[in-house]
Amino acid sequence: MTDAEFEAAVGKVTAGDKTGLRDLYDAYADTIYRLFLGKVHNHQDAEDLTSDFFLKLWECAAGYRPGRGHRCWMMTIARNMAIDYLRKAGRTVPVEDAEAVSPAALTETQTAADTVTEQMQTEGILSVLPEDEQEIVRMHIAAELTFREIAAILKRPLGTISWKYRNAIGKLQKLAEEGSLL
Amino acid sequence: MTRKEIEKRCREEMQQTIPDKEALWERIESRLPEQQPVQQTAGKRSHIQMMAFARIAAACLLLVIVGAKSYQMFQKSLHSAKPDENQSYFTAEGSSEEEAAEESPKGEYDDWDVQYGDAAEENEGIAAPEASTSDEKKPLHYSDLAVPGSGSIHLSVPLKAPEGSYFSEADVLKQTECFVDVIVQDGAQEPDTGAVVYSMEVVDCYGAEVPENSLTIVSDTPYLLEIGHEYVLPLRQTEDAAWALTDACAPQFERTQDGKVLFQSGWYSLMTEESVPVLCDSRGTDDYFYDRMYLTGYAELEAFLREWERQL
């Protein structure tokens, strides 16, 4: 969806026309769902959050200011919702804990390699990355956000985002070379 | 596997779609309110506008009537040989009740008062959501704050925030080893590096202890610290064991002499309903914070820092 198409849909939403929201839903429901899924790791919760997201969009569409990049705006809302949800559920995973599963540390022993394999089987290859790197990879690949947009959403320096992304892909590449990537 | 292949693999893995997209839409649709909030606002607005219009129309009508009556009186006074008759005109003596009601300006004012009163009350109720904006804190200007006189440091080379640098509360808290409450004693720009060397007197410390009572910090922050002003600075130790600002791309906490603290909105944990916006003079096109400053009680900052200290 282009910015112009998005603005047209938002215009409909603010006028109370449900077809505007349907247009947004058709264009972004899967992307938003994937982002939520990456955060909450549960299909039902991701679906609930997706539903809440579009209801929120219905309420706050008038707050959208054209020219600011609609994907960035939507992803910020989605991310905040996911964070709120995790906080309420008491499921915030500290970055340190997530980093404890770093491939560099795990591939040293056979047991660790097994853990990585098992983790990848159940949660996908991104699960071997720290939470913050997973999020950046998801935003860049699944939501097709630019590094600049991700930096704005995560309020991190642009250089940090691109470095973390390269680092994440590099880790997966290393696992692939070692034959540990499923 | 090449980098592109890895990205492709990730993309494939992230192709999960909503299991039943149509069912989820139906769920969303069923929860949409019948009447859209914006429409309600528009409805309220048009009602408010109608009420305002009615009031203006009533006022105009009143002016016309009063004007006509005054003109009539003026004419009568010109043509009347007996001024007393004019006096009794307002008392409506000798005139019918109907005439009195019609002619008495007081009666009309009474009606107007009633109408105005009702409209005002009704209008108050309608306008409440909009009126709430007036409850928003009125911005102060930096010059309104209880801070010492300006002791600006002269810059021969302008300072600029590094490209692509963003303030992040979480990052700053993570990297900071101590917050120091300092009073800037002196500052001068180094001609070769362009950085400013600040000498400060340490008033208080949160987190790691700064061993000395005085501190020297070299910083290229474009958000200059003023001589004689009191700040609370997040510091980290560099490789050569010197103390440096954890974040140089945003203004620092500044204490006022009446127990308040000025902070930039990036410190979102400190943003409360009590925070008052403060407008500062822009330092130039690269000043991203001059209109993002807020004032809160120092106690709020202290509690925030104590909590940070506790989690160290």
> Could you give all domains of chain A from N- to C-terminal order, each with its CATH number?
3-88 (1.10.1740.10), 95-177 (1.10.10.10)
User: What pLDDT is recorded for position A1?
Assistant: 80
Cα angle at A168 between B167 and A126, to 5 degrees?
Answer: 110
pLDDT, one tens digit per residue, over B61-100 is: 667 666 666 666 655 544 444 444 343 333 333 344 443 3
- Model confidence at A119, pLDDT cuts 50, 70, 90, reads low
Q: What is the pLDDT of residue B87?
A: 39
Cβ neighbour number for residue B191 with a 10 Å cutoff: 8
Question: Is a pLDDT exceeding 50 seen at residue B132?
Answer: no
Burial degree of B95 (CB within 10 A; 0-12, 13-18, 19+): middle
- Alpha helices (H) in chain B, listed in sequence order: 3-13, 21-31, 37-79, 83-91, 97-103, 105-135, 169-175, 298-310
Q: Is the dihedral of CA A27, A29, A34, A38 positive or negative?
A: positive
Cβ within 8 Å, pair A157-B164:
yes
Cα gap A133→A18, rounded to integer Å: 36
CA of A67 vs chain B CAs: smallest distance (Å): 19
Name the residue with higher pLDDT: B73 or A171.
A171
A contacts of B7 (beta carbons < 8 Å): 141, 169
At residue B57, the pLDDT reads 65
Of B6, B16, B32, the CB nearest to A169: B6
Interface contact B6-A47, CB threshold 8 A? no
Q: Please indicate whether residue B208 or residue B105 has the higher confidence score (pLDDT).
A: B208
Given a contact cutoff of 8 angstroms between Cβ atoms, the answer to whether A100 and A112 are in contact is: no
> Pick the residue with more confidence: B123 or B208?
B208
pLDDT on residue A158:
76
B residues 19-78 near A, CB within 8 Å? 19, 21, 24-25, 27-29, 31-32, 35-39
pLDDT for the residue numbered B69: 65
pLDDT in tens, B32-56: 876 544 444 444 444 444 555 556 6
pLDDT in tens, B252-272: 999 998 889 999 988 988 988
The least confident of A70-79, B73-82, B117-126, B232-241 is: B117-126
Q: Please say if the pLDDT value at position B127 is more than 70.
A: no
Between A180 and B299, where is the model more confident? Answer: B299
Residue pointed to by tokens 């006189």:
B149
CA–CA separation, B203 vs B107, rounded Å? 71
Q: Is the pLDDT of residue B134 over 50?
A: no
Q: Does the pLDDT at position B119 exceed 60?
A: no
Residue B8: predicted pLDDT: 83
Residue B205 gets which letter from DSSP? E
Q: Enumerate residues 6+ apart whose C-beta is below 8 A from B32.
A: A18, A21, A55, A58
Task: For residue B129, give both structure tokens.
Answer: 């959501």
Question: In this complex, do B10 and A18 lie within 8 Å of one another by their Cβ atoms?
Answer: no
Question: What is the reported pLDDT for A162?
Answer: 81
Complex ipTM: 0.76
Residue B45: the pLDDT is 45
Enter the tokens of residue A83. Answer: 């964070």
For residue B214, the model assigns a pLDDT of 84
Return d(Cα B290, Cα B142) in angstroms, integer: 10
Around Cβ B96, how many Cβ atoms within 10 Å? Answer: 10
Place of tokens 């998801």: A138
The yes-or-no verdict on residue A86 having pLDDT over 70 is: yes
Chain-centroid distance of CA A21 in Å reads 21
Listed in sequence order, the DSSP H helices in A41-69 are 43-60
Cβ–Cβ gap A47/B9 under 8 Å: no
Averaged over B283-304, what is the pLDDT?
86
Beta bridge partners of B187: B198
Segment (H or E) for B234 = strand B230-237
Q: State the pLDDT at residue A72.
A: 83
Q: Which residues of A touch B27 (CB under 8 A)?
A: 51
Q: Considering the domain delimited by B169-310, tell me its CATH architecture.
A: Beta Barrel (2.40)
Contacts of B246 in chain A (CB under 8 A): none
The predicted structure's pLDDT at residue B18: 75
- pTM (two decimals): 0.41
Q: Do the Cβ atoms of A21 and B32 come within 8 Å?
A: yes
pLDDT of residue B296: 93
Give the mean model confidence (pLDDT) for residues B167-182.
89
Q: A102-116, B23-37, B77-91: which range is least confident on average?
A: B77-91
Are A172 and B6 inside 8 Å of each other by CB? yes
**Residue range A153-164: average pLDDT?**
81
Q: What is the pLDDT of residue A125?
A: 78
Residue B19: list chain A partners with CB under 8 A. 43, 47
Residue B235 confidence (pLDDT):
93
A100 alpha carbon, distance to own chain's centre: 21
Contacting residues for B43 by C-beta, under 8 A, at least 6 apart: none
* Residue-level pLDDT at A9: 92
Residue B212 has pLDDT above 90, yes or no: no
Q: What is the pLDDT of residue B67?
A: 67
The C-alpha atoms of residue B245 and residue B253 are separated, in whole angstroms, by 12
Distance CA A38, CA A44 (A): 12
Residue B155: per-residue pLDDT: 83
pLDDT of the residue at B251: 93
For A48-81, how does the pLDDT look when each residue is reduced to its tens digit (9 = 90+)? 999 999 998 898 888 787 766 788 888 888 888 8
- Chain mean pLDDT for chain A: 77
